[in-house]
């Protein structure tokens, strides 16, 4: 059996692997606590459900225009104006099958072989693999001070004549960090002066806490979107709890949008019209659903922080957004894969190893589930890692044995 070099060069998504292991354990009836999930628990907004049901009822489920149905693109134009104060036209927008595909198609459209794409650690696990699939080189910048925010000077040092783009994801998956106004402003200045694309992955941009706002890159440039190097990607997966609908988009220079359109026409075509109708329903419906989710997640974050503060030896950076935190477990193990595997096996708690986000010794914990998941998950982790804890505990009638220390 011969598998291509390209396919072999790509790492399988560790998040999906952990999810699969957890699913199999759950299938066997094991009381698994899932702190690995990357999706909120809320249902799709009613406006999305009604819009997709209405579309289904027409029976006209045909090919969509490659770049998206005009009414959804119009809703994205309006979303951009309302949330970023930036007027764009439908030619600046393309809809794809989830933000993942949006980012991938975007990279395929701008990256040449040998080009470098700068990623800030910790970074979303799929970026390096997508850059490699586009025959580019991911260049990771890690803050020397151990924080989750590399400085402008550190980023500038990593830039070369091959740098094609820098990806900023704020709030950040996996750390929950929101980059400051000053930082985003400097990035915009720097990228525009060096003609480097600044890709803003805004998929969590409204999931922010304590009155913090994720600064928009558009605020720091007067350039029209067709002259600008800023490209924004977003979607309905996280803010509207619509991960399964697979709708994401890119807003940017129309030349890039045209290139993505050509690429998409040769590969996937436009995403399902049913999902596009649902996304339009979500964007044009009552927006309090997003605020409701934000408040629930903020409360879960508070509970997680309280639990982690009493977790001996664990270093914490309080997340300002998303539904993830990235605590430092180096006091327990410097190998996050081994640690995550042990926690799943012994405590039946799913976490995601930090090494996959470029932060070894850390674990990504999701608080997108319930408060009970958070408290029970951390309780079991404390038990599994405390040398003075009893060797056995019971979860209902299931005995957990901690025999690894």
Ligand X SMILES: Cc1ncc(COP(=O)(O)O)c(C=O)c1O
State which residue has the least CB distance to ligand X. 98
**Residue 170 engages ligand X in binding (rule: CB under 6 A):** no
- Choose one: 98-106, 175-183, 205-213, 354-362; the region binding ligand X (CB under 6 A): 98-106
**Residue 98 engages ligand X in binding (rule: CB under 6 A):** yes
The smaller minimum CB distance to ligand X, of residues 248 and 321, is found at 248
Site string for ligand X, 109-148 (x = CB under 6 A): ---------------x------------------------
Residues 6+ positions from 252 with CB-CB distance below 8 Å: 92, 106, 225, 228, 230, 231, 232
The smaller minimum CB distance to ligand X, of residues 342 and 350, is found at 350
**Residue 248 engages ligand X in binding (rule: CB under 6 A):** yes
Angle between helices 99-110 and 126-133 (to 10 degrees): 40
The smaller minimum CB distance to ligand X, of residues 166 and 347, is found at 166
CB of 160 to ligand X, least distance (A): 25
297 within 8 A of 367, measured Cβ to Cβ: yes
Find, among 360, 308, 355, the residue nearest to 330 by Cα: 360
CB of 102 to ligand X, least distance (A): 7
The smaller minimum CB distance to ligand X, of residues 173 and 307, is found at 173
Sites for ligand X among residues 171-190 (CB under 6 A): 173
**Residue 203 engages ligand X in binding (rule: CB under 6 A):** yes
- Choose one: 94-102, 137-145, 176-184, 389-397; the region binding ligand X (CB under 6 A): 94-102
User: Which of 35, 36, 37, 38 forms a contact with ligand X (CB under 6 A)?
Assistant: 38
- Choose one: 20-28, 85-93, 210-218, 235-243; the region binding ligand X (CB under 6 A): 235-243
CB of 125 to ligand X, least distance (A): 8
The smaller minimum CB distance to ligand X, of residues 171 and 361, is found at 171
CB of 202 to ligand X, least distance (A): 9
The secondary structure element, H or E, covering residue 202 is none
Find, among 117, 133, 106, the residue nearest to 4 by Cα: 133
The smaller minimum CB distance to ligand X, of residues 40 and 346, is found at 40
**Residue 201 engages ligand X in binding (rule: CB under 6 A):** yes
Integer Cα distance of 333 and 317 in angstroms: 18
DSSP string computed for 316-344: ----SBTTEE--B-TTT-S-HHHHHHHHH
Distances 349 to 104, 333, 405 between C-alpha atoms, Å: 31, 16, 17
Integer Cα distance of 229 and 187 in angstroms: 11
Instruction: Name the phi and psi angles at 400, rounded to 5.
Output: -100, 135
Integer Cα distance of 273 and 17 in angstroms: 30
Integer Cα distance of 71 and 75 in angstroms: 6
The smaller minimum CB distance to ligand X, of residues 105 and 307, is found at 105
User: Which of 14, 36, 215, 235 forms a contact with ligand X (CB under 6 A)?
Assistant: 235
**Residue 243 engages ligand X in binding (rule: CB under 6 A):** yes
| ∠ Cα 141 144 145 (to 5°) | 130
Quick one: how many helices (H) and strands (E) in the chain?
A: 13, 14
Dihedral, 335, 338, 344, 350 alpha carbons, nearest 10: 40
Residues 6+ positions from 10 with CB-CB distance below 8 Å: 129, 132, 133
- Choose one: 92-100, 137-145, 249-257, 271-279; the region binding ligand X (CB under 6 A): 92-100
Question: How many residues are listed for the chain in this entry?
Answer: 405
- Choose one: 95-103, 290-298, 328-336, 379-387; the region binding ligand X (CB under 6 A): 95-103
What stretches of 178-272 show up as alpha helix (H) in DSSP? Answer: 181-194, 254-266
**Residue 275 engages ligand X in binding (rule: CB under 6 A):** no
Integer Cα distance of 385 and 377 in angstroms: 12
**Residue 216 engages ligand X in binding (rule: CB under 6 A):** no
**Residue 271 engages ligand X in binding (rule: CB under 6 A):** no
CB of 268 to ligand X, least distance (A): 13
**Residue 100 engages ligand X in binding (rule: CB under 6 A):** yes
The smaller minimum CB distance to ligand X, of residues 116 and 202, is found at 202
- In the complex, the residues that contact ligand X under the rule CB under 6 A are 38, 98-100, 124, 169, 173, 201, 203, 235, 237, 243, 248
């Amino acid at each position: 059996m011969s598998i291509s070099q390209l396919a072999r060069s790509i790492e399988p998504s560790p998040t999906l692997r952990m999810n699969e292991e957890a699913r199999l354990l759950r299938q066997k009836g094991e009381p698994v606590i899932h702190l690995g999930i990357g999706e909120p628990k809320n249902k799709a907004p009613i406006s999305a459900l009604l819009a997709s049901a209405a579309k289904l009822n027409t029976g006209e489920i045909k090919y969509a225009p490659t770049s998206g149905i005009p009414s959804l693109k119009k809703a994205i134009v309006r979303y951009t104006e309302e949330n970023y104060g930036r007027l764009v036209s439908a030619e600046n927008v393309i809809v794809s099958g989830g933000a993942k595909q949006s980012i991938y198609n975007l990279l395929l459209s701008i990256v040449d072989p040998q080009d470098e794409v700068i990623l800030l650690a910790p970074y979303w696990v799929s970026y390096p693999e997508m850059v490699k699939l586009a025959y580019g080189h991911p260049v990771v910048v890690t803050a020397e001070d151990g924080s989750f925010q590399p400085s402008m000077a550190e980023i500038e040092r990593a830039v070369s004549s091959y740098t094609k783009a820098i990806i900023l994801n704020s709030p950040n998956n996996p750390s929950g960090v929101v980059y400051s106004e000053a930082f985003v402003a400097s990035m915009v200045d720097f990228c525009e002066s060096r003609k480097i694309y600044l890709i803003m992955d805004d998929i969590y941009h409204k999931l922010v806490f304590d009155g913090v706002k994720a600064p928009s890159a558009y605020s720091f440039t007067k350039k029209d979107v067709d002259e600008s190097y800023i490209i924004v990607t977003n979607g309905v997966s996280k803010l509207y709890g619509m991960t399964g609908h697979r709708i994401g988009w890119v807003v940017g220079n129309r030349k890039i949008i045209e290139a993505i359109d050509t690429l998409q026409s040769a590969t996937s075509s436009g995403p399902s019209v049913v999902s596009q109708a649902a996304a339009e329903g979500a964007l044009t419906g009552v927006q309090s659903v997003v605020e409701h989710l934000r408040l629930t997640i903020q409360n879960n974050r508070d509970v997680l922080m309280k639990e982690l503060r009493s977790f001996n030896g664990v270093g914490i950076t309080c997340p300002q957004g998303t539904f993830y935190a990235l605590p430092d477990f180096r006091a327990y193990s410097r190998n996050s894969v081994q640690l995550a595997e042990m926690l799943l096996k012994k405590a039946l708690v799913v976490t995601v190893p930090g090494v996959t986000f470029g932060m070894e010794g850390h674990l990504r914990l999701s608080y997108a589930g319930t408060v009970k998941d958070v408290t029970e998950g951390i309780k079991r982790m404390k038990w599994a890692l405390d040398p003075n804890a009893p060797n056995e505990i019971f979860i209902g009638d299931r005995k957990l044995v901690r025999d690894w220390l």
